[in-house]
Structures are given as C-alpha cells and as structure tokens.
C-alpha cells in the first residue's frame, strides 16, 4: 500500500450503467481526479458500476512506478463481505485493495502492482477497515502502517497466501513500525513452531538437535521483539 506525492488521474474504461457523470467523462482520456466528482463514491447518487483505471503522474508528466503504477478497478470483488474478500485476494499475484465501513464496501476494489497498491485520493478512509494482500507472504510493512495512520484507517488487514494479519494503526505507533513487524513475525514463528511440535509428537524427527536450534532461534526472536516493545512503552 502506498500514498506518495503524485497527482492521481482517472480514465473511464467502460460504462456499466446509465450514469451521466461517467458518460460525460468517457473518451476524454486521463484527467486529474481533483477536477472530477468522486464518481461511484459516497457523493454519487447513481452508485454506478462503471469501470475505471487509475494512475499517478508527477509534475513532469512521468507516471509513477514501484507500486504507484496504473491501477484497475475490480468490480468482480465488490459484492463480497469482508471475510469473503480476505479469502478471495489471498492468492492474487498482484496487490488488491478494498475498504469497508460498517461491514459494507465504501468503494469498488482495485488492483495495483505485485509490490504495491495505493489508497484512492478522492475517498475518505476515516474509521474504515482497509484490506489488501501481500503476494510475497510478508507481514504488514512500515509504509502500510504509516500510510494507514495518515488516512485515519481504523483497522488494517493484510492477507497473504499463508497468513492473515490484523492491526490497528492508531494504537501501534507506526513511527516505530519495525517493532510491530518483528512482533508479528515472531508470533507467526511461534504458531508454526507449535504446529510443528504437535506434529512431532506423532512423528518424532530424526534430528532432535535441529529442532532444538529452531526453538532457541524462536526464543531469541521473541525476546528481541518484546524488548523493543518494552522500550517504546516507556515513551508512550
């Protein structure tokens, strides 16, 4: 997830409903969102289902990269509940983002690149739950948390092929997000170790020393994460 200093532009790809706003915008190419009505948003009476494409452009006309690439709406995911949406995007090969408030989606979901998907500039995310995926199976990043806090996101859910993480940006001090990353990773290791230990009770491993090394590494990781959290608590 990213939110950098580019001008966001929108282009209409197709008209699904009879929507005067979309019909007027169609065929005009890329236009800055700041000059347009938030079509399909909370202020749109039509609540249209038209297809849009987004991109970000700097003052020199260069479109952005590294996660701020052109994004495309995903109307196929729009009617899903929060739980269904999480499961639907876990195995996507690019990052997909949706936002929920009071259990309902607040805009049409959209996809970005494999390493990033932006929040939309023309939508308010105050008090919303933002859900997106990490195809590389990584934990929530510092950028995820800082961006979410700037946009006053209430809850952030990151779905990966193997795990789902939930954090509240306002209460996790995103400025020290490395602590959360360490803690989340340590917690995931603990869960994996527990599952592995249970499995080993049924089928003892041939290399007990390898398992003991894993346990020691896990204890060190947990201790380091908790130590970082303890330091931050002193300055709360």
Q: What is the mean pLDDT of each run of 10 residues along the chain (236 residues)?
A: 60 60 69 62 51 62 48 89 94 94 91 84 87 89 79 91 82 50 59 57 55 68 59 40
Under 8 Å CB-to-CB from 194, ≥6 apart: which residues?
Answer: none
φ and ψ of 26, to 5 deg = -60, 140
Whole-model pTM: value is 0.51
β-strand partners of 10: 31, 54
Going from N- to C-terminal start, the domains of the chain cover 7-171, 174-234
Helix, strand, coil % (nearest 5) of the chain?
Answer: 35, 20, 40
**Helix H or strand E segment including 164:** strand 164-167
- State the DSSP string of 166-228: EE-GGGS-GGGHHHHHHHHHHHHHHHHHHHHHHHHHHS--S-HHHHHHHHHHHHHHHHHHHHH
Cα–Cα distance measured from residue 136 to residue 109, given in angstroms and rounded to the nearest whole number: 20
Tell me what pLDDT residue 101 has: 93
β-strand partners of 100: 105, 129
Tell me what pLDDT residue 43 has: 46
Tell me what pLDDT residue 70 has: 64
Tell me what pLDDT residue 214 has: 65
């Amino acid at each position: 997830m990213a939110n950098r200093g580019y001008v966001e532009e929108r282009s209409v790809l197709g008209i699904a409903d009879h929507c005067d706003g979309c019909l007027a915008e169609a065929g005009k190419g890329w236009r800055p969102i700041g000059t347009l009505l938030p079509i399909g948003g909370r202020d749109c009476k039509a609540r249209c289902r038209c297809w849009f494409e987004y991109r970000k452009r700097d003052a020199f006309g260069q479109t952005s990269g590294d996660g701020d690439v052109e994004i495309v709406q995903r109307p196929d995911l729009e009617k899903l509940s929060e739980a269904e949406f999480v499961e639907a995007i876990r195995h996507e090969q690019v990052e997909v983002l949706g936002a929920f408030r009071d259990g309902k989606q607040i805009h049409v979901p959209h996809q970005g690149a494999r390493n990033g998907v932006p929040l939309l500039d023309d939508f308010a995310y105050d008090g919303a739950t933002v859900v997106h995926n990490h195809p590389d199976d990584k934990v929530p990043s510092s950028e995820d948390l800082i961006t979410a806090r700037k946009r006053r996101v209430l809850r952030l859910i990151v779905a990966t092929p193997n795990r789902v993480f939930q954090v509240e940006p306002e209460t996790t001090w995103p400025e020290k997000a490395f602590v959360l990353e360490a803690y989340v990773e340590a917690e995931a290791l603990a869960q994996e170790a527990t599952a592995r230990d249970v499995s080993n009770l049924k089928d003892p491993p041939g290399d007990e020393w390898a398992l003991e090394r894993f346990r020691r590494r896990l204890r060190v990781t947990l201790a380091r994460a908790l130590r970082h959290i303890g330091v931050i608590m002193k300055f709360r």
